[in-house]
Amino acid sequence: MSKRDYYEVLGVAKDAGEDVLKKAYRKLAMKYHPDRNPDDAQAEEQFKEAKEAYEVLADGNKRAIYDRHGHEGLQRNGGDFGGGFADIFGDVFADIFGGGAGRGGPRRGADLRYRIELTLEQAVFGTTESIRIPTVKECTSCNGHGTADGKLPPPCGTCRGSGQVRVQQGFFVLQQACPACRGRGTTITEACKSCRGAGKTRTEKTLEVKIPSGVDTGDRIRLNGEGEAGERNAPAGDLYVQVEVKPHDIFERDGNDLHCQVPVSFVTAALGGDLDVPTLNSKAALKIPEGTQSGKVFRLRGLGVKPVRGGAAGDLLCSVIVETPVHLTKKQKELLREFGETVDGGGERHNPATNSWLQKAKQFFEEHIKP
C-alpha cells in the first residue's frame, strides 16, 4: 500500500516550521499513543505513521529530499551532513509525559539558521566560506547565572529546584514545566545588570563553513554546537546553513545533470562540424552531424555533477539551437534565394519535417475547412 503524503498525515502546510510540526505531531501522538489505545491496531498504525512523518519533516536534510523526490527519494538517499539526528521521539514525549534529558534543568541553546548563496561552481566542486552570524554567549559578568553577585540562584520554592510540577488530568498524572520558575528550577531575586537575568549576552562570531561538493539548493549543513549558548552551562544549539545556488549564465542544473544551449550557425547545422562547448571546469568537443535540427540534444556522459553522497557523476546535455542569420547583404540574400529554390524543389528529401507538416495541414483543411 502506498504511503500517504507526510504533510497530509500531520495536517500541516508544506512551509510549516518546526514549532508547527512539533505541535501537530504532539497532538496526534497524544491521541493515538498505544498506552491510551490498548489493543487498538488502527490507532497504533496511525501513531507509527505520524511518528514517521515527523521524523522526516523535522530533519532538514530528509525534508529537502522528500520535497524534491517524495518517498522514493528517501529510499534512494541516506545519511546527513554533519552528525546524527536528535531523538525526536524522546524529545516530543518528554514534553507530553514529562521526564527526558534536560527537563527541569538548564535548557539547551536555540538552533540558528543561516542562508548562504553559492555559485554553481562552488556548489558542484565544494568550497570553504567565512560567515558572520549573530549569536549569544554566556554572560561574563554573572558567569551565566543571571544573578547580580554571579553566584548560583537559590532553588525555586514551588518545584523545589526540579523545574517540574505534577498535574492531574483524569486518569493521567502529567509533568510540566513549573509556572513559577518556567522550568528553570531556580529563582533570581536580583538580576545581573549586564544581561538582565538572562545569563547570556548578544554578540557576533565568524565561522569557516566547509561546503561539500555536490550540494544543491535546499540542502542544509549542520554545525554542531555553533548555535546559541545554553542556559547555565547546558549544551549549545546547532547552526544550520541553508544552501541556495545562484543562477548560472550558461548552465542549468537538474539533479546531477547539467543542461546548456549551444547556438550553431545554419551552415554548421546543415553541413556538420566540430564545436568546443564549455564544462564547469574545462571544455569538451561536440561533433555536430550533417543535417542537425534545432532542438537536438547531445549527451556528454560524466560531465555533470558528482552526487554529494557519492556515486557516478551526471551528464552534460547540450541542446542545439540553429541560429537564423540576420543583417544579410543584398548578395547574401540573392544567394539564399537561389539556394532555397534548389532545396524547395527537393520536397521530402531536403525538408522532411516541413513536407510532413504541410501534408497534415492539407488534410486538416480538407476535412474541417469548408470551401
Cβ-based neighbour number of residue 47 at 10 Å: 20
Residues 220 and 343 in one domain: no
**Within a domain: 331:** no
pTM: 0.57
Same domain, 258 and 363: no
Q: How many C-alpha atoms does 283 have within 13 Å on its Cβ side? A: 8
Q: Per the domain annotation, does 319 fall within a domain?
A: yes
Query: CATH no. for residue 298?
Result: 2.60.260.20
Establish if 154 belongs to a structural domain: no
Number of domains into which the chain is organized? 4
Evaluate the CA torsion angle 63, 67, 71, 76 in order and state its sign: negative
Judgement on whether residues 307 and 212 belong to the same structural domain of the protein: no
| 42 and 127 together in one domain | no
Instruction: Confirm if 128 and 208 have CB atoms less than 8 A apart.
Output: yes
Same domain, 32 and 130: no
225 & 257 share domain: no
Q: How far apart are CA 197 and CA 206, in angstroms?
A: 26
The pLDDT tens digits for 308-340 are 888 899 999 999 999 999 999 999 999 999 888
DSSP one-letter code for 155: B
Within-domain flag for 175: no
Among 39, 64, 97, the domain boundary falls at 97
168 lies in some domain: no
- The strand pair at 200-211 and 252-254 is best described as unpaired
List pLDDT tens digits, range 78-96.
Answer: 444 444 333 344 444 444 4
**How confident is the model over 278-287, as pLDDT tens digits?**
999 999 999 9
Looking up residue 46, the CATH number of its domain turns out to be: 1.10.287.110
Looking at the structure, tell me whether residues 5 and 82 fall in a common domain. Answer: yes
Residue 359 domain boundaries = 338-371
pLDDT tens column, 131-156 = 998 877 788 889 888 888 888 888 88
Residue 75 lies in a domain: yes
**Average pLDDT of the residues in 355-371:** 78
Asked if the structure places residue 42 within a domain, the reply is yes
Q: Are residues 136 and 223 in the same domain?
A: yes
Looking at the structure, do residues 20 and 93 belong to the same domain, yes or no? yes
361 and 263 within one domain: no
